[in-house]
Chains A and B, each alone.
Chain A
Amino acid sequence: MKVPADLKYTESHEWTKAADEGIIVGITDYAQSEMGDIVFADLPQVGAEYKKGESLAVIESVKAVSDIYAPVGGIVIAVNEALIDSPELINDDCYGEGWLIKLSPDTEAELDELLSAEEYEKLLEREG
């Protein structure tokens, strides 16, 4: 399982990365491999607000439908429109072209609560 060292993670298998504006949110390699072939991504409206831990997107695979949770509270400033026609990008390149949402976080404090790559790898070992 790929766990890039420069990203921050959640216990519910989302990753985040600081961008020029706000943070980018996606799901981890572990999450996409557990879900199997992804067939649909239901993404939020730009401008919608979410608290940390609220479901902000739904991803459907051939196996199941899964909620994606906000890693931090914030406002949606962009969604990955390419996923509408090509949800497989999440399977093929979950840390790159398969990103989901760009969020403008409410506070810096919640960003500090996210897991480091090392901590997330330990979590995967426990779950595996």
Chain B
Amino acid sequence: MAGQKNFPLLMELGAPGRRAYLLPDLDVPSRSLEELIPDQYMRSEPAPLPELSELEVVRHFTGLSRRNHGVDVGFYPLGSCTMKYNPKVNEDLASYPAFASLHPYQPEATVQGALQLMYELEQYLCEIAGLARATLAPAAGAHGELTGLMLIKAYHVSRGEGHRDEIIIPDSAHGTNPASAAMCGYKVVEVASNDRGSVSVDALREVVGPKTAGLMLTNPNTLGLFEEDILTISEMVHEAGGLLYFDGANANAILGKCRPGDMGFDVVHFNLHKTFSTPHGGGGPGSGPIAVREDLVPFLPVPVVEKRQESLDSPGTGENTDEFYLDYDRPLSIGKIKGFYGNFLVMVRAYAYILSMGAEGLKHVSEDAVLAANYLMVKLKSAYDLPYDRICKHEFVLSAKRQKANGVAARDIAKRLLDYGMHAPTVYFPLIVEEALMIEPTETETKATLDEFIEVMLAIAREAEESPEKLQNAPYHTVVGRLDETLAARHPVVRWQGEKDMGAKAQDE
């Protein structure tokens, strides 16, 4: 089934009346739908739902999963995404019913363990960030960015400096940075990179000023390079009255090695789903906590998990027990930014991951991630262009400029990699590198896998010279060949086209 070319949709499978189970007779009085649901909410025609046996459904989804590629199947060097292996023990813990079956409206007294987990996870993240307190509420990276910017705005407004309306963003930044700033009502001011791939301090001096609300920076940046001038940059922005926002997309490179707070960042974001053991790439759930320095704490979203010493169980004995509670009484808070408390089970994975790795283990994570990236970079830089040739952090960016001269684009190299059973790197990002191939091996791959990838990339470079057409038409061994991405983007078909027929069929019966 995995090799099947035409893979039918659920809508195309099944037959009327086919089903997976039979319900027993009702043992309460039956009432009609019309009686229970007001007229305006009733459908005029039945929904065209597929009718299938259980086995058909199981085979459908199992078949799809076999056509998929994930880190559990093979190498996945998708730069900037940190597609690292997430230890299964963290999945086990997150599926533990005492966590997974909690209801967000349960009384606090019955969820003390969950609240303690959130409280302690916040502390661990603050320790890694080098800052005072954090919110776990944001549901994704960009949601965290928006939250962080809202905190920056609240800070300036509280100081009577609401006129600051510019956020400075490097030209190498993730696209979400300017999007979040614009969403928060800020003007985006771009700052250029220098020839070492870092923020140009001279260019920054030109744009920083009394209108600067803040600077958003990823460190290491999207070229996988550490911003060596970060202390100068932070001094310049702070002197101008602005704040520094840390995009934590690349936090996997610095865990326990250095703290964004020490670099001068005031607002620090993490992607738990990248760095702290939640599988991702399919659109969530994610988690984008935001840590802040002391004087920004009053603005954090509600609720914040707090701890108080209580002796309710044994009054007068002097025996205190910690009680955790959700604090909504925060008058300067920017308010609620997410239903309930954030994506709790992502927090469980992060908590379990941090505790199981320990402080030393997290340092090893970053050391191994950085070592693996540098190993690949050194081995590949003879066959591909390396526009910024310096020691990298957890990822590096090659350019297929040389191959492009022979008619082979970064896209073609990416497609050809699929034939070798490996996921493609990120391509055409960051924008400042022509024909970019952004490679992030992560800490969890063996040297044997890294060597295999090197061999494949060198073989592809040879193919690009000797038989470019082979690459231009790749892939050949995947379940589908080269797809027409242009047509799909220009004329997307996002709904099942046979729906009308199906609706008519259902009514006939």
| Residues of A near any B CB (own CB < 8 A) | 37, 39-40, 60, 62-65, 87-88
Contact = CB atoms under 8 A, between A and B. Distances in A.
Interface in B475-494: 485-486, 489-490
A-B complex: 5 closest residue pairs judged by Cβ atoms:
A39-B489, A37-B486, A63-B428, A39-B490, A62-B485
A64 B431 contact: yes
19 contacts: A37-B485, A37-B486, A37-B489, A37-B490, A39-B486, A39-B489, A39-B490, A40-B490, A60-B489, A62-B485, A62-B486, A63-B427, A63-B428, A64-B428, A64-B431, A65-B175, A87-B490, A88-B486, A88-B490
A64 B429 CA distance: 8
Interface in B426-452: 427-429, 431
Given A88-B486, A88-B490, 14 more contacts: A37-B489, A37-B490, A39-B486, A39-B490, A40-B489, A40-B490, A62-B489, A63-B411, A63-B427, A63-B428, A64-B428, A64-B429, A65-B175, A87-B490
A63 B434 CA distance: 11
Contacts of A62: 485-486, 489
Contacts of A39: 486, 489-490
A37 B491 CA distance: 13
A47 B490 CA distance: 27
A65 B489 CA distance: 13
Contacts of A65: 175
B405 to A, nearest CB: 11
A52 to B, nearest CB: 17
How extensive is the interface on chain B, given as a class? 10 to 19
Contacts of A88: 486, 490
Interface of B: 175, 411, 427-429, 431, 485-486, 489-490
A60 B492 CA distance: 14
Contacts of A60: 489
Nearest to B410: A63
A60 B427 CA distance: 15
A63 B485 CA distance: 10
A37 B485 CA distance: 9
B493 to A, nearest CB: 14
A118 to B, nearest CB: 25
Contacts of A40: 489-490
Contacts of B429: 64
Contacts of A64: 428-429, 431
With most chain A CB atoms within 10 A of its CB, the pick from B175, B429, B486 is B486
Contacts of B490: 37, 39-40, 87-88
A87 B485 CA distance: 14
A87 B487 CA distance: 11
Nearest to B429: A64
Contacts of B489: 37, 39-40, 60, 62
Nearest to A34: B434
Contacts of B431: 64
Contacts of B485: 37, 62
Nearest to B434: A34
Contacts of A87: 490
A30 B429 CA distance: 20
A39 B490 CA distance: 5
A87 B486 CA distance: 11
B472 to A, nearest CB: 14
Nearest to B188: A55
Nearest to A65: B175
Nearest to B175: A65
A39 B488 CA distance: 9
A64 B431 CA distance: 8
Nearest to A37: B486
With most chain B CB atoms within 10 A of its CB, the pick from A40, A64, A65 is A64
Contacts of B175: 65
With most chain A CB atoms within 10 A of its CB, the pick from B175, B411, B429, B490 is B490
A10 B490 CA distance: 28
A87 B411 CA distance: 21
B418 to A, nearest CB: 17
Contacts of B427: 63
A64 B135 CA distance: 33
